[in-house]
Every structure is written in structure tokens, then in C-alpha cells.
Structure 1
Amino acid sequence: MKRKAEKQQAAVPVSAFAARKARQQQAQIATTPKNEPAAQPAVEPPSKRLRRSLEADESTEMNIPETRGPRTRSSTKQDALLPTEKVKSRKGKATGKEQEESQAQVQETRDDSEEEEESEDNAAEGVDEMTEDEIASVAGDADGYESPAETPAELQNFPLSKSRINKKDIVYADADTLCVRIKEKMNLVLLGQYDLWVKRGVVSVMGAKLHPSSRVYRVYAPSTHSLPVIKCVAGVNGEAEVEIKSCNSGLSRLRDVSPLYQRIWNGQNTAADKVTLKGASKDSRRTFSVLYTSADDSLKRHLRPLHLDKKWSASMKALSSRQGKLRVLVCGPKASGKSTFSRYLLNHLLSSDPGFEDGYINTDGVAFLDLDPGQPEFTPMGQVSLAYLRAPFFGPPFTHPSVDKPRDGHIVRAHHIGSTSPKEDPDHYALATMDLLSQYRSLLARYPQCPLVVNYPGWIFGQGLEVATWLIQCLGLSDVVYMSEKGPSEVVDPLSSAAKQAHVPMTILPSQPTDFVSRSSAQLRSMQIQSYFHLSHPLDLGNPLWQGEPLSRTRPLAVDYSGSKQGILGIMVMGSQISPDLLREVLEGAIVGVTAVESPNAIMGASSAQGPSDEGEGNDFDAEDVDMDTDGQATNGTSASLTDNGVVRTKEGLPYLFVGSGSCTPLDPKASNCLGLALIRSVNVASQKLELFTPIPSTRLQDAIEQGHQLVLVRGQLDHPNWAISEEYHAARAAERHYQESIAEVKQRGDSKKIDQTKHNQTLAMLRERIRRASNVPYMTVVEDNSRRQREAAARREKSLWKLRKKAYPASESETDW
């Protein structure tokens, strides 16, 4: 009797990739002579697919007391990704029939979703969105990480380091430090976190050329991105000497509060580590590992070094030759390498030295105008900013989500767009860009030789193309770099024409997209903003630190929103019209931009929202929503009232800045400045306070208040803080796991008698009770049973849009492995 999967296989939709592969196998079998062995099907490298994880697109709310009623939401999205059986690779190559049966087994575990893979356009954009009824998973990839069984063996063993460490190359080494010599034109690749000190010679790292000095550079090399390469450019007697030391930044602690941070750092010691750790204790582990090939990785991840294309290197040298006159705009389609090129160019400009680059010494720093609100480099998502930098940065954006060190650089000015794409409000985006450009002109008065690097988003089609051509014509650029040799012509031709009219040379470079990604764009944004809220900048330390405790266990900041000690001027909502009665529900659990209003003129349209004037003119509010009488009170049943400066007081007393027609008009960028982001925990109506979390330094808030600026909270359309909901749950699971591991170590040493069984049972019961409480919170549901029947039953029970399904079952890879 045929299995159920075989009966239903014909009715199951398959992707274009799987269909093409099946047709190739059938054609090869049909053309094979009977007297010859069947030809083996050609193995194609896996296409770039989105790696999904537990935190892909989850719920939209923070925890609230049980006494509060359900909340109203206009629209929410969630992903409930549940694991499937992994397809185990056999020795040798499987036949076509075996592959079809394997596909049938995988297909049986899927719900009625759309296709297994999205189109190539969506894959390139990193889009990973599903509605609540579309429960999907990838075979062997249930946890959002790469599966070695899916990758051909020849692709796994990828060469990384050209230098092999021998005893003669080791200057000194201990449990935390490794000092080695690297020969000229040789390189070394490391995975993890480390401090790099160049003692002799010249080495290049991520576009920067580092010379001997007392400066120590912090390098972050996670597996989510291509690994940086330490290459010897010049040396004494043909060798460069570098010291690599372990560091404890706290960034690895975030793995206890989010599965997105799991399995991204170095695993067990490699063969090269064992050579350099001789004489140290057996359990010694550094925060970095030396890798010769990707097969050295104990976690078997898809690791690649980042080698720049020759055209990229030549272009960087040509751009650097312009020195202080450089004004370059980097643009191109999505996933073409714009951010990588900008980061390498930035590091290249910040590391010039006498004897190199025609003797040019960069003493005026570099200005970085980041116009990509979706994946910014030095700020959290939803902002455009101008950063002034004096030192190179080594690591992906989630390792430096904010810059606040005078030695390394700072954010000159930022504006909260309130969205990950400029297309939501192109006019406000253009005004913010022009204001940032004027700030750069002011910066030139102090640093006349400060070059400018402009990073433009992948919004290059339609209206985005119009904005790009407008920028080329009005920014006064020296160069334009387009990151794609494949066009399309309908984009390249208008850009070339605009550059020609502005007498600006345009360079077209090949894109360098990553063939394999372990995190989608949405997941990288979640990692960056979670890193932002857990980040701190101690004054006595040169490097930032991350806190591994969940936000729910930290003390929130209480701000008066009404009364004599009111700390904020008002609250704005961008993008859509929100009734004043729903403002509290919209704010709780949301991320807002903390904006300093430098002048009353920043509130555009406020003068028309002052209520009826002497001439009997009305205000800009929609008459169907709120009608105001001569006393300023609502007359249509709502409990909101209008005060000065266009502020509507809700029934909770919240100051709602409702100006414009239908929705809030954004603040004028010329008279406002975004200080950072905050996460509103709750609205305490009894005390008239907002409880919120923010990593903005208190000194910066105090400076804004002392300058007479007023604070406005801007609620935009950013991704909801889904990661904040499940932090306590993941932390509880991690606490139990760490305790079990400590008990196992005691038993392994033969000290079982030292364990107090009564105390052990009490501790274990307390930890499991913490897990139970953390899993029983609003807007999140933990699915303990992974069977399809239980998933369908849970889907029928949980019809609310804001509910989550989280995976938690024994022997879960995301819960037990690192």
C-alpha cells in the first residue's frame, strides 16, 4: 500500500527549482542506454534562500497586566515556523526515485502554504513575510540556520586562510592571547570576537590598512557575514607581527535571550587553536578561532571569507586619490553589496598613512551620510543620519548600532523616518536629506578636508529613481558608484544622464551578492535593534558593552506625560490616522523615536490646529472624527480635548500631537533632531507616566533639555519588537540549560555526593516554574507538541492576530546547541 505522502505528491505545489531539477533527472534517465549505468544527476549549488528562525516575524505586542483587555490592531503579521524532519544525506548519490520519495516525506510535513521557495526577486530582497495561516518550513532548516546536509561536500570545505600557523610563526601564546607572524601576501581568517594589535609591518582588514601603533582595534567576525581577512601588506623582513587577544564585550550573551544570536560565534577549538594552546589548560577556549578551511568549523556552518573584486579595489584606490574633495554616492539594487562597499571605502579612507596613498594623511575624519533607513550602518532602523567618524569599524551593523565615542566618532544629526523604506513619505525623506547635507556643509567649516560617503538604499526603481537622480544633480558630488553591471538599463540610463548633466563621473561595478545567507534582512534588523537596546557605552571603557538580561528584568525609565513635571511635549503617529481613543493601545509595546524639537516651527501645521479663530475658521481635523466647540471640548462622544500647539488630550491624558489632515505631519527636519529610539513598556494612567526603555545616554537627554529643546515621541511603522516578547522565555530556558550543564559537569568529575538532592530538586522546580510563567504571557503561545495535528489544533484555537507560536520541544537544536 502506498504511503499517504506518495498519494498526495501530485497535488502538492513545488518550487520552480525543484521542478527543473526533476525534469533534468527524468531526461537523463530517459537518454541513458540500457547497457550503461544510469548517469548521476548534476548537482547544482543551492540557490540563495531565506533562512528562517523563531524570531522571523512574530507578535506585535509587549507583555501587559492580565487585568487589561484585548488590544485593537489595524494589521499584524506573524510567522510560525515549526520544525520538520531533516533529510539525511546518504553515502554516495541517491537515485531519482529515492530523491522523489525524500521530497514526498518532506512535503508531508508541510501545511497548506505557498511554495517552498519564494521567487528570486524576493530572495534577493531578503523578504520573508507570511500571514498567520501560512505555516511553512524548509527541510533541514527548521531553526533558520544552514543545514550541512543540503550543501555539497565540495562547497563545505572552502579555503579560508592561506597561512598555516607553525611553531616558528608563534611569538607567544596563552589561554587568551595569540601573537603570530604573517608573511607578505599571506592572510589569516578568524571567527569570533577579538582585539587586534599590529606590532610590526602593515596589515589590511576590511579595507583598512593598519600600521604599527599602540591602538588596539576591536574586530567582530560572526558567521552571519563573510569573515574578515587579516592580510599582510608589508612587513619587516617580509613578515608582519600581530597580537590577537580574546575580548568580553557581552555581545555573545544575547544568545540567551534570542535564538538569532545562537551559533554565530566560534565553536570548539580548531586544529590551529590546539597548536597555539599547548601548555594551557584543557578547557581553555578563546573568543576567537583560527580557521584554515570552512570544514574546520565544529558547527559545520557555511563560512566564506570576503575577497574584494579587483574592480572594487581599483575603484577604492581611485576614489581615495581625491582625498578631501571626495563626495561619492553609492547606489544600486538590493543585495548588490552597497553597504559592504561603503563600509570598506570608509575604512580605507580612515586608515591612510604617510608612505601610502601619495602621502595623504587623513586628519579631518570622514562624514558618512546614511540614507538607508532599512539597514543603516551606525543607527537603528527607521533613521537617516550623518555620522562623523575618525576610526575604522570592523564588524556588521549589529556590532555598532550606535556611535557615541569622541575618539571613534559620533552622530552629528539624525532624523526619524518612521519606516524601513523612504517610499512611505518621499517628501519628508527629501527634506531630511537636504538638512543632513546642510549639516555636512557646516562640518566642512571645522574640517575642510573631510570627504563624504553617501549610502543610498536599494529603492532604485520608480519614485526611488527620481529621488536618486535628484540627489545626483543637487548634492554637488564628485563621483557616483552604481553596484551592478547587469543594469537594468531603465535605471542605469537615467542615472548616467543625470551624472553627465552634473559633470560627475559614474562608475559601474559588479555586485558581490552572498550566495548563502543564514539570516534574512528582517532578522538582521531584529538583531540590530535588539543589540541597540542592550548596548551601553561606559565612560571609562573604550569599547561598548552589551547586557544579557531581558528588558523585562531591567528598570524602566518613568516619564511624566502630564502635569507640572511633564517631560514630553507630545506624541505623534506617522503613516496612518489613529483615533485619540486608540492612542494608548498603539503606544504600548511599540518602538518610538525620541526627537528633540529645537523650535516651535518644527511642528508643521500646528498653527492651523489651534481651534477656531476669531474669524470663525475651523481646524484641520476631520469633522467626522473630532468636532471641537468654542471651549475646545469634543462634542461627538470622544473624550479628547484640544490644547495649545495642536495637542489633543486623550481620555488617559496623553498629549496627542495631531496636526495636518488625517494623520500627523512629520516634524520639520530643519528644527528637529532624533536622539534615538525608545520602547514603551506601558502607560500608567494612575500616575500619568510612561514607562519606557531607551539606551539613549542620560547626558544627551539632559543636554537637549538644557538647550531648551522639547521632546516628542514619534510612533512610526517600524517592525514590531517581537524579540522583546520572548526574551524572558528564552532567558528562562537558558538558565535551566546552564544549571543542568553545571550539574552534569559535577557528575562527570565524580563529585555526585556533593550534590544536595533536595536543594537540587527545589532549584530545578523553581527554574521550570520560571519557564512556565514566561511561556504563559499574552500574545505568545509556546507549542510543546510539534506534530501536524497539534499545529492545526493550535491554529484553530488561536485565531487572534497577535498570537505567536514558539517552538519548544526536547532535544531542540536551537535550545541545546550553540
Structure 2
Amino acid sequence: MKRKAEKQQAGAPLSAFAAFAARKARQQQVLEPAVPKEAPQAVAASEPPSKKRRRSLEVAETEPNGERRPRTRAAKKQDEPLPAEKTPEQPTRVTRSHKSEAQPEPENAPEESDVESEQEEVANADEMDEDEVASVVGDADGYESPAETPAELQNFPLSKARLSKNNIVYSDGNTLCVRIKERANLALIGHYDIWVKRGVVSLMGAKLHPSADVHRVYAPSTHSLPVIKCVSGIDGEAEVELKSCSSGIARLRDLSPLYQKIWAGQNTAADKITLKGAANDSKRTFSVLYTSSDDTLNRHLRPLHLDKKWSASMKALSQRQSKLRVLVCGPKASGKSTFSRYLLNHVLSAAPEVETGYTNTDGVAFLDLDPGQPEFAPMGQVYLARVRSPFFGPPFTHPSLDESRDGEMVRAHHIGATSPKEDPDHYAMAVMDLMDQYRSLLDKYPRCPLIINYPGWIFGQGLEVATWLVRTLGLSDMVYMSEKGPSEVVDPLALAAREARVPMTILPSQPTDFVSRSSAQLRAMQIQSYFHMTHPTDLSTPLWTDVPLSRTRPITVEYAGSRQGITGIMVMGSQINPDLLQETLEGAIVGIVAVESPSAITGEMARPAASNDSDMDLDSENPGLSDSIQVAASASIVRTREDLPYLFIGSGSCTPLDPRSSHCLGLALVRSINTSTHKLELSTPIPSSLLEKSIQEGHGLVLVRGQIDNPNWAISEEYYAARAAERRYQMSASRSRKTGDSANDSDPEHNRTLALLRERIRRASNVPWMTVVEDNSRHQREAAAREKSLWKLRKKAYPGSDSEPEW
């Protein structure tokens, strides 16, 4: 049938241009089925719009031949989401629907497979309700609002290799050993340990040679899947062993819905081939995928293949060996972090000396200047780390370093914000101090190269800082991650590079694609992982605990008196009256900063006139602090009504600590402030040995409250944990009833236990800043729509520019 617009113009004479456009459209319709599925343009054609638009002639107009007219810039502006800073903050809202369509996530770890099977049984038999978090407003960090997923996801190829009895060496319920031919690859989802037994394979930029080393790989659906590719091998084949692992990171789904349905689902067709002869309920923590349609959870999966120019650039940069000093910069969402991560793994690859004549024994210095998306630290920090081994996984799988194995955190500074534009001067001082630390590091490790990851703050003041860094850091190379300019950014960078005699490489940006988490959600996942990760001394890999922070034992610190352990409290980026300091701190994320000398606390912090009031008095004696720091602090600390030591000046703001005389130890969550005993309760993953060492060296500790995201995830942890506990008990009871090992529902003991669990849920839902909505109508539909939603990257070369695609 012809559309109405076509019928109206059927009798009208067509101009030459209109006839050509109609003929061109018909040719395209004929040629479309012949385009291969793996063609890049097919992916773009099948993607949904980034936002559901109204039907309006101002927004979109349709030509008679079905083509869409170009939309004006004004129309584009109307569709853009509001900036994050203009969006009013809303409390965490949890919707609890009576009958949800969402199914529980299949289990990942072998020891938890029984629990997951029980979840499926209860979901089908008893129609248990599920919990969903309310929608999150799109932020301005490179992501738009959720877009509707197509009804049928494209069958996207993931692996070139196919498993069969010819290339499967051995397999069981936990292990899979396969042979991969040269130039073939294998994509997996989940988390696993990989051991290269024969040949050479590439994985996330690293070339892994045969050795006794076992590497932990994390491949969640939140990011593009890493691909295991055979580079070379004996008789044209490489042999690798893949083994399930139990790290506990999958159990974080019981604390946050952001961690649900991101790991391996049920067994795929490839898994069933390799599990022949194993137990019927065998389930590994990883799954082999040939195409995206093999995923049992119907997620939007894509492999991560490097652009040829990226690979060539990494190879050229790695040939500089110990003389490498490279700065990676570019617009937002252009692939800076991905390129830096792959380059880091490539330089750290353990290659035999006979191949290159060079072995990296000093590690690689990684200078991360992006406080919004740091690689080895939680948000709000810039740092210098010396990394000794490759990392295979997104940042939330390694939010901190195990200094005994993976590397060491040389020095870190708390910026207190996710963007350096909040205080460019403090940011620049922190960068220069980190560079001084790197020069000192070279005295001990002279063959340690340097990789610098610069944030997407590349316009305005950010461009000035970037050009200043190029001129002053003594770089060997600079990489700019965008081939489409703009010239207002590229020309000043190129000029600075020429003046400093630094080669500048321009690479294509990362292809834009849909993702299942926004940048704000990824930051929440990373900081939640940071607070729940531990590094056991007897294990070579980290572990995660699913115990809510409210049920863990906090650290108690006195903030006043003879045993005072806190030098002062700062609030950066906001003007907070001393009377509101307690409300500002409770339930907030703070940075714990060690003050090394009196010069860190500037003398410009004069005592305000308000400090003469009866409810405040200057702290003149702090026996718990070192004498030198106390002298400097006594002139600037104001005591509030609760006796909190506030580093306060008359305008209500705080001067940042000097980076040359201070450093950040990590983050902490202020759980409560006991004004009667003058004690703070802090939850922090910082090792107690590190805190004790800092105190023994005479450093004072300052708590810095910045502008990083509020810990909404911590508020709802107990609620989700209580819901998970009830589900586990219900599943266990249902399974026992089927086997006849338990009494029926009229059992008093069963009813009493169930009542206690539901009382725990009720108490957990009655907390400040969180609302539990019980509705099975509108909220249920919203939850189902969010379950199918994806986030789409949005790139801009500069505000208002069309030089980069704005998706």
C-alpha cells in the first residue's frame, strides 16, 4: 500500500530532482537486504532514536519518498536533556510491583547456582514481586536519556571461532580448554581466569604468551565484550584454559539493581556442547557467545575491536619503551579511557626478551587526571599509580590497587568533584605535584614509562590547561582522540606540541553505541564496588562482600578532646554555615586527606567575625595532633555548636589544601556523628595499617566534603539485601516442599521466620531520602520499560558544534 503522502502526489508532475530522489530511495530499498549483517551501517540503521520525540512538524518532517528532512539546530536543542546541574535532585525511589515481568538473573558462581534455580522456581510458582529503582534523569556527562530498545535486537557477530570436538581439548563443569586458530577469536561474557598454555593471544590490548601466570578477566554486559584473539601459535593454533572464578562481585546484585543481569546468563548453545558429560545443573561463571542472539537475557552485546589506526599507534608508542611519555586527550565519549587502558596493557605485556630485546621490570606509571571516570580509584580523585600487571575489565572491577601484587598508589589528591572545572587552579597544582612525584619515581625505577589520561574537559579553561601540560611536562608523544576537530581545539594543541617538539597523533574516536548504564550509574557502581572490595593477604585476587555497609563495623574517630584524631573538616565548592555542618556531613562521602606539613593549611584562612559568638570557640589546644600542624590549624579552625573542627572562613567556603604538602588516603562514608561523645563513625575500605602509618608519621587527618554524587546506593542497600534474604528463604522453603523435607505453609516456625524477614524489609524501607512505592499499574509499566531501556552516548566536539556526531 502507498502511504497517504504518496497518493496525494501520484497525479502531480514530478520534477527531475524529485524523480531522482524517488528512484534513489527505491534502489536503496532493493539493495538493503543484500547488505551483510556485520556491516557498520546496518548497526546504525537498526538503532532506535536516542529519545522518543513528539509528532510535530517542527521536530521531524517526512518527505513523500519516505526520507526525513534535516532537522534544524533549534529543533535539536529542544530534544537535548537538561544539564545535570539544572536538574533538581530527587530522593531515591524504589517501586515495588506485585507482579513484575522481570525474571531473576541466572547465577554466575557455581556455589550460588542452586540459589538462582530456586529463584526461578519461586518466580514461576508463587509470582514473587521484584524491586526496581526509579528512572534516573539523563546527565550531561556524555549520555542521553534512556532510549527504547527495538523489539528484535540485531544478530551481531561476536566470535569467529566455533567450538566442536576438534578444538575442545577438555572441559568440565568449571573448566574449558580450547584451541583457537590464528586470526580467529572467541568472545565470552562473565568473569573467568585465563591461562595461556600454547601460542600467543591478544586480550584487551595485551599480548599474553605461554607462562604460569593466570589472569582474571571481567566481561560484563555494561561494556563492550573483550575478545580473545589468536595472534600466533604452534601449527597455527593457540591453546588457552578458561576457568570459573568466585570473586563475589556477582553477589552485589543483592545490594543494587545496577549489578543485576550484567554477567553470564543461562547456558548457551556453545556451553551445552562443552558441558556434555557434566552434571545437569552445571553452570560456569562465563558463557561463550557466537552472536548477540545467543545471549539468554537478550541484552545489547557488542565486541570491542580496535580500530586499525589504534593498533598501529599502540605498536608505535610501545616501541619507545622506557622513554614513553604520552598524553591522551580528546572530547568526551571519544575513547580516551579505553585507549589508555589498552595501551597500558600493551606496554605491560610480558613478552620474552628474544622477541623485542626489552622486558618491562619497572612497571608503567599511570597518571590519571580524569576525576569523573578514574581507572584505579573512586571518583573525585587524580592520582599517580605504578602498575605492574595488566588489568582486564572495566573500572568498577578494580576501583583500588592491591599494592602487594598489582601495583602501588604513588600519590593521590582529592579534587572533590567529577570535573576539574570547579577549581582549575587547585587541579593544576595537583597535576604538577603528581608530575614531581613521577620524576622522583624515576630515581627508583628509571625504566618506567608514563601514560597520562586527560579528561574530556578540553574546551575553554580545559584547553588552556591541556596546552600548558603539553609545554611543561616533557612529553614524548601526544594523542588526540578525534579526527573531526574542531580546529579551535586542534590548532592550539598542535601549536603547543610543535613548540615543545612533541609528535601529535590524531586518531578516530570510539564508535558511538548504546550502553545499558549512564555515566552517573557507572560512577555509582564503581564507588559501591570500592566500598565492598577487599584484598585478602592469602589470595592473589580481590573479593567482594554483599554485606550492606549499615551492617559492617565502622571506624570510630574522636573529633574533639585529648584523643582527637581529626585535624579539621572542609567543605569544597559550597558555602556552608557552621550551624549546618553536621547535617552536611552525615550520610555524605568525604575524602580522608593526610596533612604532611603546616604549609598545607594556608594562613589566609582568617578567623571570621561570627566566631566570637557564644556557640563557637577557636580550638587553641589539640593534644592529639602533632605540634607543627596544630600551630597552623589553630589559626583557622572554628568550633561549631557540636564542637566540630571546621576549616571555615567568612564567606562560608574553604581554601583547598596545598597538594605539595598533603595527599589523599581514600574515601569514607560518614555514618553518624555522636555529639555527646564527640565521635565520628566512618565506613571506609582504607586499610587500618595505612591510617596508622600516616598518624605515626605525624600527619593530621582532614575530612573533605566535596561535590561528588550523593551515595544513594548506600541508602537503599539494606532494603535490597532484605528483599534478597526473603527471596532466598522463600525459594529454599519452596524447594523443600517439593522434595518433602519441609512442612507446609501452616508450620509455625516457617511463618515466624517469614514474619521476621518481612519486618526487616519494612524497617529497611522506612529510612530518610528513600520512598518505597507499592503499585502494580503505572510504576510497574515504568519498571518494565526501564528494564528494556538503553543509554546512548552523546559526543560533542564543542558546545553547539556539528563537527562531531550528536547522537
Per the normalisation by structure 2, the TM-score is 0.80
Match of 2:357 in 1: 359
Following the alignment from structure 2 to structure 1, what is the Cα–Cα distance between the partners of residues 242 and 637? 56
Is the Cα contact below 8 Å between 2:141 and 2:519 reproduced in 1? no
1:753, CA displacement in angstroms? 5.1
Cα 1:83/1:775, change in 2 over 3 Å: closer
Following the alignment from structure 1 to structure 2, what is the Cα–Cα distance between the partners of residues 48 and 435? 45
Match of 2:804 in 1: none
Following the alignment from structure 1 to structure 2, what is the Cα–Cα distance between the partners of residues 775 and 590? 19
1:171, CA displacement in angstroms? 1.7
The aligned runs of 1:270-669 (5 Å cut-off) are 270-354=268-352, 358-605=356-603, 608-609=604-605, 619=606, 621=608, 623=609, 626=610, 628=611, 634-635=612-613, 638-643=615-620, 644-659=634-649, 662-669=652-659
Match of 2:673 in 1: 683
Match of 1:101 in 2: none
Amino acid at match of 2:559: Y
Match of 2:691 in 1: 701
The aligned runs of 1:6-405 (5 Å cut-off) are 44-46=45-47, 49=50, 76-78=89-91, 125-126=142-143, 147=149, 150=150, 152-153=152-153, 155=154, 157-354=155-352, 358-405=356-403
1:514, CA displacement in angstroms? 3.7
Following the alignment from structure 1 to structure 2, what is the Cα–Cα distance between the partners of residues 450 and 640? 50
1:744, CA displacement in angstroms? 3.0
Cα 1:584/1:762, change in 2 over 3 Å: same
Is the Cα contact below 8 Å between 1:378 and 1:401 reproduced in 2? yes
Cα 1:337/1:182, change in 2 over 3 Å: same
RMSD: 3.4
Is the Cα contact below 8 Å between 1:45 and 1:151 reproduced in 2? no
Following the alignment from structure 2 to structure 1, what is the Cα–Cα distance between the partners of residues 204 and 423? 35
Q: SS where residue 272 of structure 1 aligns?
A: helix
Is the Cα contact below 8 Å between 1:380 and 1:529 reproduced in 2? yes
1:755, CA displacement in angstroms? 7.3
Q: SS where residue 480 of structure 1 aligns?
A: strand
1:659, CA displacement in angstroms? 4.8
Q: SS where residue 691 of structure 2 aligns?
A: helix
Q: SS where residue 375 of structure 2 aligns?
A: coil
1:694, CA displacement in angstroms? 0.1
Following the alignment from structure 1 to structure 2, what is the Cα–Cα distance between the partners of residues 252 and 591? 24
Amino acid at match of 1:784: E
Following the alignment from structure 1 to structure 2, what is the Cα–Cα distance between the partners of residues 765 and 342? 52
Is the Cα contact below 8 Å between 2:92 and 2:771 reproduced in 1? no
* Structure 1: tracts of 5 or more residues without a match: 1-23, 61-73, 88-112, 129-136, 140-146, 610-618, 629-633, 792-806
Deviations 1:321-369 (A, max 9, x none): 1111110000000001000000000000000513676332111110000
Cα 1:641/1:581, change in 2 over 3 Å: farther
Is the Cα contact below 8 Å between 1:782 and 1:808 reproduced in 2? no
Deviations 1:10-35 (A, max 9, x none): xxxxxxxxxxxxxx98756756799x
Amino acid at match of 1:126: Y
1:811, CA displacement in angstroms? 9.3
1:407, CA displacement in angstroms? 2.3
Following the alignment from structure 1 to structure 2, what is the Cα–Cα distance between the partners of residues 711 and 357? 49
* Structure 2: tracts of 5 or more residues without a match: 13-21, 33-43, 53-80, 102-133, 621-633, 789-807
Matched, 1:762 2:752: yes
Cα 1:49/1:252, change in 2 over 3 Å: farther
Amino acid at match of 1:524: L
Is the Cα contact below 8 Å between 1:206 and 1:229 reproduced in 2? yes
1:747, CA displacement in angstroms? 4.0
Is the Cα contact below 8 Å between 2:96 and 2:772 reproduced in 1? no
Q: SS where residue 765 of structure 1 aligns?
A: helix
Amino acid at match of 2:281: D
Q: SS where residue 405 of structure 1 aligns?
A: coil
Q: SS where residue 167 of structure 1 aligns?
A: coil
Cα 1:679/1:78, change in 2 over 3 Å: same
Matched, 1:671 2:661: yes
Following the alignment from structure 1 to structure 2, what is the Cα–Cα distance between the partners of residues 656 and 201? 60
Match of 1:721 in 2: 711
Deviations 1:410-439 (A, max 9, x none): 110000000000000000000000000000
Q: SS where residue 589 of structure 1 aligns?
A: coil
Q: SS where residue 430 of structure 2 aligns?
A: helix
Following the alignment from structure 2 to structure 1, what is the Cα–Cα distance between the partners of residues 566 and 4? 68
1:757, CA displacement in angstroms? 2.7
Count of residue pairs the alignment pairs up = 687
Q: SS where residue 168 of structure 1 aligns?
A: coil
Cα 1:574/1:736, change in 2 over 3 Å: same
Cα 1:665/1:291, change in 2 over 3 Å: same
Following the alignment from structure 2 to structure 1, what is the Cα–Cα distance between the partners of residues 164 and 199? 19
1:151, CA displacement in angstroms? 5.3
Is the Cα contact below 8 Å between 2:577 and 2:652 reproduced in 1? no
1:231, CA displacement in angstroms? 0.8
Amino acid at match of 1:577: Q
Is the Cα contact below 8 Å between 1:222 and 1:264 reproduced in 2? yes
Matched, 1:785 2:783: no
Following the alignment from structure 1 to structure 2, what is the Cα–Cα distance between the partners of residues 168 and 193? 25
Match of 1:736 in 2: 726
Is the Cα contact below 8 Å between 2:92 and 2:769 reproduced in 1? no
Per the normalisation by structure 1, the TM-score is 0.79
Is the Cα contact below 8 Å between 1:202 and 1:210 reproduced in 2? yes
1:523, CA displacement in angstroms? 0.3
Q: SS where residue 166 of structure 2 aligns?
A: helix
Is the Cα contact below 8 Å between 1:561 and 1:690 reproduced in 2? yes
Following the alignment from structure 1 to structure 2, what is the Cα–Cα distance between the partners of residues 117 and 677? 26
Q: SS where residue 731 of structure 2 aligns?
A: helix
Return 373-382 or 281-290, whichever deviates more: 281-290
Is the Cα contact below 8 Å between 1:203 and 1:230 reproduced in 2? yes
1:600, CA displacement in angstroms? 1.0
Amino acid at match of 1:45: S
1:751, CA displacement in angstroms? 5.1
Amino acid at match of 1:271: A
Is the Cα contact below 8 Å between 1:201 and 1:236 reproduced in 2? yes
Deviations 1:456-507 (A, max 9, x none): 0000111111111111110111111010111111111111111111111111
Following the alignment from structure 2 to structure 1, what is the Cα–Cα distance between the partners of residues 490 and 349? 32
Is the Cα contact below 8 Å between 1:50 and 1:123 reproduced in 2? no
Following the alignment from structure 2 to structure 1, what is the Cα–Cα distance between the partners of residues 5 and 334? 35
1:406, CA displacement in angstroms? 2.5
Q: Percent identity?
A: 67
Q: SS where residue 575 of structure 1 aligns?
A: coil
Amino acid at match of 1:568: I
1:748, CA displacement in angstroms? 4.2
Return 313-322 or 512-521, whichever deviates more: 512-521
1:211, CA displacement in angstroms? 0.8
1:741, CA displacement in angstroms? 2.2
Cα 1:117/1:357, change in 2 over 3 Å: farther
Cα 1:500/1:778, change in 2 over 3 Å: same
